[in-house]
């Protein structure tokens, strides 16, 4: 199965849901990203290796395919695979076996392979960047995860869910999202999709000073809608952010650099203060001020 969609749309969650609703649900669900490792490391992670196969291979290692036997292997960013890995993956799909790196014995596996990509594979096939035979093997069933801007009715529901989630995590009471903040959430295009929305709501919970999430608790980028008067919104938002920054810096200075004491002065949990410093990017200023 091939899951398509932009970054942040929840392709891995969809793959996990497919696994949990299948007859393989009691077996392992193993994930691996095809874009985060070099070719040699990815080959070793995916297929495993024998002892002495290369420098540093001090013991035999089972790969992700073996670990997923009987269950599901989720291979993300499949469009980034190198020609070597593409060829070896094709063999697995055709013959249901593979060899570890440095090995000579075929290892049989019974595994469902679910792949995901935000790349246009048809275009990659046309350019010779992706094997056509592998594309046909992977694209037996295809699911497209819609972007968040194409399902705007979900924005409010997801925002409320994430607000409640981070309210519990940060131990900070949140009673809701103001109508003005909801309008900003609704009108923004969310190029980072659900992942970006989650980050925005975490930021809002940490930065907020009231029990209601307000516009000035949201990231600056949400104000860049091109609406008339957006400059004034930007100026206001910047001033509020700077005021909060100065309050935090002053509290840390008065506490002699002790973050636990500074958090107590601000009426915050120390974890929330650390989050606030990270989100406001205050570490460089705190260091330079000491």
Q: Which domain holds residue 174?
A: 149-289
Mean pLDDT along residues 35-58: 87
- Output DSSP code: residue 74: E
Asked which of 120, 145, 170 is the last residue of a domain, the reply is 145
The DSSP result for 12-59, as a single string, is HHHHHHHHHTSTTTTS-EEEEETTSS-HHHHHHHHHEE-TTSSTT--S
Contact 80, 35 (CB under 8 A): yes
Task: Mention every residue, 6+ apart, whose C-beta is less than 8 A from residue 275.
Answer: 170, 202, 206
Asked which of 145, 165, 188 is the last residue of a domain, the reply is 145
Instruction: List the alpha helices (DSSP H) in 49-192.
Output: 64-67, 83-95, 121-126, 132-138, 153-170, 179-187
CA 282 to chain centre: 24
Task: Mention every residue, 6+ apart, whose C-beta is less than 8 A from residue 248.
Answer: 262, 266, 273, 276, 277, 280, 282
Contact 218, 177 (CB under 8 A): no
Q: What is the pLDDT of residue 8?
A: 93
Q: What is the pLDDT of residue 254?
A: 86
Same domain? For 6 and 140 the reply is yes
- Say which residue, 276 or 122, is predicted with more confidence: 122
**CA nearest to 81, candidates 28, 119, 136, 126:** 119
Same domain? For 8 and 100 the reply is yes
Contact 245, 280 (CB under 8 A): yes
- Say which residue, 207 or 115, is predicted with more confidence: 115
Same domain? For 45 and 179 the reply is no
CATH code for the domain in which residue 241 is found: 1.10.8.60
Same domain? For 180 and 258 the reply is yes
Same domain? For 191 and 93 the reply is no
Same domain? For 22 and 47 the reply is yes
**Model confidence over 214-270: pLDDT tens digits?**
988 888 888 765 444 445 555 666 777 777 788 888 888 888 888 888 888 887 778
**Model confidence over 99-136: pLDDT tens digits?**
989 888 999 999 999 999 999 999 999 999 999 999 99
Asked which of 110, 145, 180 is the last residue of a domain, the reply is 145
| Coil/strand/helix, residue 154 | helix
The DSSP result for 203-236, as a single string, is HHHHH--SSEE-GGGS-GGGG-S--TTHHHHHHH
Q: What is the pLDDT of residue 235?
A: 63
Q: What is the pLDDT of residue 221?
A: 84
CATH code for the domain in which residue 57 is found: 3.40.50.300
Number of domains in the chain: 2
Same domain? For 162 and 217 the reply is yes
Same domain? For 51 and 8 the reply is yes
Same domain? For 139 and 158 the reply is no
Same domain? For 141 and 7 the reply is yes
d(CA 6, CA 144): 9
Beta pairing, strands 48-49 & 61-62: antiparallel
Contact 51, 58 (CB under 8 A): yes
Bridge partners (DSSP) of residue 61 are 49
Same domain? For 267 and 179 the reply is yes
Q: Is the pLDDT score of 186 beyond 70? A: yes
Residue with the two structure tokens 């636990």: 260
What is the pLDDT of the chain when averaged over all its residues? 88
């Amino acid at each position: 199965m091939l899951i398509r969609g932009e970054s942040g749309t929840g392709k891995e969650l969809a793959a996990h849901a497919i696994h949990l609703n299948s007859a393989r649900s009691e077996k392992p669900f193993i994930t691996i990203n095809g874009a985060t490792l070099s070719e040699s490391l990815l080959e070793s992670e995916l297929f495993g290796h024998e002892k002495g196969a290369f420098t540093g291979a001090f013991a035999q290692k089972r790969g992700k395919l073996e670990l997923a036997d009987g269950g599901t292997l989720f291979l993300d960013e499949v469009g980034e695979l190198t020609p070597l890995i593409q060829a070896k993956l094709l063999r697995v799909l055709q013959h249901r076996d593979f060899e570890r790196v440095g090995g000579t014995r075929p290892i049989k596996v019974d595994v469902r392979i679910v792949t995901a990509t935000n790349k246009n594979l048809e275009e990659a096939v046309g350019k010779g960047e992706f094997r056509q035979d592998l594309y046909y093997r992977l694209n037996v069933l295809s699911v497209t995860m819609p972007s968040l801007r194409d399902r705007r009715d979900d924005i409010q529901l997801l925002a409320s869910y994430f607000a409640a989630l981070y309210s519990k995590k940060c131990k900070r009471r949140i009673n809701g999202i103001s109508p003005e903040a909801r309008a900003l959430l609704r009108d923004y295009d969310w190029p980072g999709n659900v992942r970006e929305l989650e980050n925005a709501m975490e930021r809002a919970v940490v930065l907020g000073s009231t029990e209601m999430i307000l516009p000035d608790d949201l990231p600056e980028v949400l104000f860049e809608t091109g609406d008339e008067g957006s400059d004034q919104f930007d100026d206001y938002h910047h001033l509020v952010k700077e005021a909060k920054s100065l309050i935090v810096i002053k509290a840390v200075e008065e506490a002699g650099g002790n973050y636990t004491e500074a958090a107590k002065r601000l009426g915050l949990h120390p974890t929330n203060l650390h989050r606030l410093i990270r989100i406001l990017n205050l570490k460089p200023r705190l260091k330079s001020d000491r």
